């Protein structure tokens, strides 16, 4: 009997030890499960398994310790509120089960290897304020359903391989302060619904394939501090409404196909620090020297001239305004051998700081530098036929060389007639003349004609307007003896003839 009681006592102690061991083993798991709801637990496990969690760079406590201690997971009131696993080698598709994390406010998985489409089911995460899926390998279009996440303040889908259009309803994300869709393959236009994003501070759409114009409603983004549209296919003009973006600090629309003029309203942006429009086709730049905050004005590879750049030199660093496109128009001139020929580079706004050097494109002829835009070739020979251009510099805009579009000079052998000075369709005879000369501009059909007489320094002596081509005009009776240039303008063409009154 005594032995039986002793055995029972020992068994009771053994059971107690076993239960202590069992409780020790099970309690952490129980606490782990108890920390989050079953649906959240299932979603987290699906995220781990679906993105090859065993290959993550770091997965501290995942599937072992309490959920609140799992690396990158934040828990509140038994619900997962944040997941942040940047640059952690998550691979594969983002599991659809993530939609069950309905209390999630922050989802950040940037810098991983996630692929496939962005799940449209993410729209189920109604409390999400930050969605960061940047620098992955997502493909396909941006789900329209994401624009239902109206509590989002930050959306970053940059540096993926997304295609298609930006959802037209993107403006429904009216609480956004940060939108980054840069470095994808997005096409189509910038949706006008961005006007609804009145809280937006940062807009990054660079390095896509966006086309169309910059919408004028961009001016409604009065809180925007950074706007990057560079590296797209945007065309048209920069809208004048940009002047309403009072908070704008950085604006970059370089490497597009923009044309026309930079609006003068840019001069009213008192916080502007960077304004970059290089590599477009812009032909006019207002005076921005009064914008005291402006430090980086970058305008190279456009169609600007010295007149655009001189007032803005204090805002530009060397190399930020060159090169620029060639100026004027291509021209073909046919002249008779032995005639006098005057070529003109009078294609810029006049400035005493301009210097002109004429050259043939094969460099077989280069003139001396001159303040005159005209090149006089007396007694033209066949050897002077060829393609001419002008290198134009300006002492106030160093290191910029503008080139006149080329002049094709053709030299023919013509029958000897009354001495004539001619350039293309314009003929003046006799040449030289003693009392007055006759001008005849011959064209296939009648065109409006303007004749301008200039002295040898290039100053205007007289101008005759509202004339017609194919009608003889007398000139020179009032001129003193000397050499002059006659400039005829008709049908979009400009021709210059040297004349002499003896």
Q: What is the pLDDT of residue 415?
A: 62
Q: What is the pLDDT of residue 13?
A: 52
Average pLDDT score over residue span 71-80: 97
Query: What is the residue extent of each domain of the chain?
Result: 331-412, 421-501
Are 170 and 181 in contact, with CB atoms under 8 Å apart? no
Q: pTM for the complete prediction?
A: 0.81
In what order do the strands lie in the sheet containing 202-204? 73-76, 79-84, 106-108, 130-132, 154-156, 178-180, 202-204, 226-228, 250-252, 274-276, 296-298
Superfamily of chain region 421-501: Macroglobulin (MG2) domain (2.60.40.1930)
Average pLDDT score over residue span 136-163: 98
Domain 331-412 matches domain 421-501 at the CATH topology level: yes
pLDDT in tens, 49-58: 999 999 999 9
Q: What is the pLDDT of residue 4?
A: 46
HSE of 385, CA atoms in CB hemisphere, 13 A: 12
| Residue 20 binned pLDDT confidence (cut-offs 50, 70, 90) | very low
Cα 197 from Cα 180, distance rounded (Å): 13
Are 60 and 85 in contact, with CB atoms under 8 Å apart? no
End-to-end CA distance of the chain: 155
Residue 115 has pLDDT above 50, yes or no: yes
Q: Class assignment of domain 331-412?
A: mainly beta
| Residue 327 binned pLDDT confidence (cut-offs 50, 70, 90) | very high
Range with top average pLDDT, 6-10, 32-36, 195-199, 447-451 = 195-199
Average pLDDT score over residue span 272-282: 98
pLDDT in tens, 429-481: 887 888 888 888 888 788 898 988 888 777 888 888 888 888 888 888 888 88
Residue 41 has pLDDT above 60, yes or no: yes
pLDDT in tens, 82-97: 999 999 999 999 999 9
Cα 501 from Cα 431, distance rounded (Å): 8
Reference 92, options 51, 54, 134, 130; nearest CA is 51
Sign of the C-alpha dihedral computed for residues 392, 394, 395 and 398 taken in this order: negative
């Amino acid at each position: 009997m005594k032995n039986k009681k002793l055995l029972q006592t020992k068994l009771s102690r053994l059971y107690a030890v076993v239960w202590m061991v069992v409780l020790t083993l099970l309690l952490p798991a129980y606490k782990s499960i108890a920390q989050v709801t079953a649906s959240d637990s299932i979603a987290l496990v699906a995220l781990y398994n679906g993105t090859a969690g065993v290959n993550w760079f770091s997965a501290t406590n995942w599937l072992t310790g309490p959920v609140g201690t799992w690396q990158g997971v934040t828990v509140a009131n038994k619900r997962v509120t944040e997941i942040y696993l940047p640059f952690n080698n998550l691979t594969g598709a983002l599991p659809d089960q993530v939609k069950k994390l309905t209390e999630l406010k922050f989802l950040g998985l940037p810098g991983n290897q996630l692929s496939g489409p962005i799940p449209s089911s993410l729209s189920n995460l109604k409390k999400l304020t930050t969605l960061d899926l940047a620098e992955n390998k997502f493909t396909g279009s941006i789900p329209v359903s994401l624009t239902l996440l109206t509590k989002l303040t930050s959306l970053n889908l940059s540096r993926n391989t997304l295609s298609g259009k930006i959802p037209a309803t993107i403006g429904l994300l009216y609480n956004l302060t940060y939108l980054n869709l840069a470095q994808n393959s997005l096409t189509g236009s910038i949706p006008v619904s961005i006007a609804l994003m009145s809280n937006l501070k940062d807009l990054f759409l660079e390095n896509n394939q966006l086309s169309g114009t910059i919408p004028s409603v961009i001016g409604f983004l009065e809180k925007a501090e950074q706007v990057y549209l560079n590296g797209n296919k945007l065309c048209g003009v920069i809208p004048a409404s940009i002047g309403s973006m009072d908070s704008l600090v950085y604006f970059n629309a370089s490497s597009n196909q923009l044309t026309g003029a930079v609006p003068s309203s840019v001069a009213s942006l008192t916080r502007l620090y960077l304004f970059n429009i290089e590599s477009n086709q812009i032909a006019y730049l207002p005076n921005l020297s009064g914008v005291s905050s402006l430090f980086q004005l970058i305008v190279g590879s456009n169609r600007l001239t010295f007149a655009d750049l001189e007032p803005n030199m204090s805002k530009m660093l060397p190399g930020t305004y060159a090169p620029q496109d060639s100026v004027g128009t291509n021209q073909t001139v046919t002249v008779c051998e032995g005639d006098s020929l005057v070529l003109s580079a009078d294609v810029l706004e006049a400035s005493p700081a301009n210097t002109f050097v004429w050259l043939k494109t094969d460099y077989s002829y280069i003139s001396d530098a001159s303040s005159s835009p005209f090149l006089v070739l007396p007694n033209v020979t066949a050897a002077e036929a060829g393609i001419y251009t002008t290198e134009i510099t300006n002492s106030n805009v160093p290191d910029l060389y503008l080139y006149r579009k080329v002049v094709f000079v053709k030299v023919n052998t013509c029958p000897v007639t009354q001495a004539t000075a001619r350039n293309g369709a314009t003929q003046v005879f006799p040449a030289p003349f003693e009392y007055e000369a006759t001008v005849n501009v011959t064209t296939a059909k009648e065109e409006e004609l303007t004749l301008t007489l200039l002295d040898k320094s290039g100053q205007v002596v007289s101008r005759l307007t509202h004339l017609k081509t194919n009608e003889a005009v007398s000139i020179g009776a009032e001129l003193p003896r000397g050499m002059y240039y006659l400039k005829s303008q008709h049908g979009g063409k400009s021709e210059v003839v040297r004349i002499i009154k003896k």
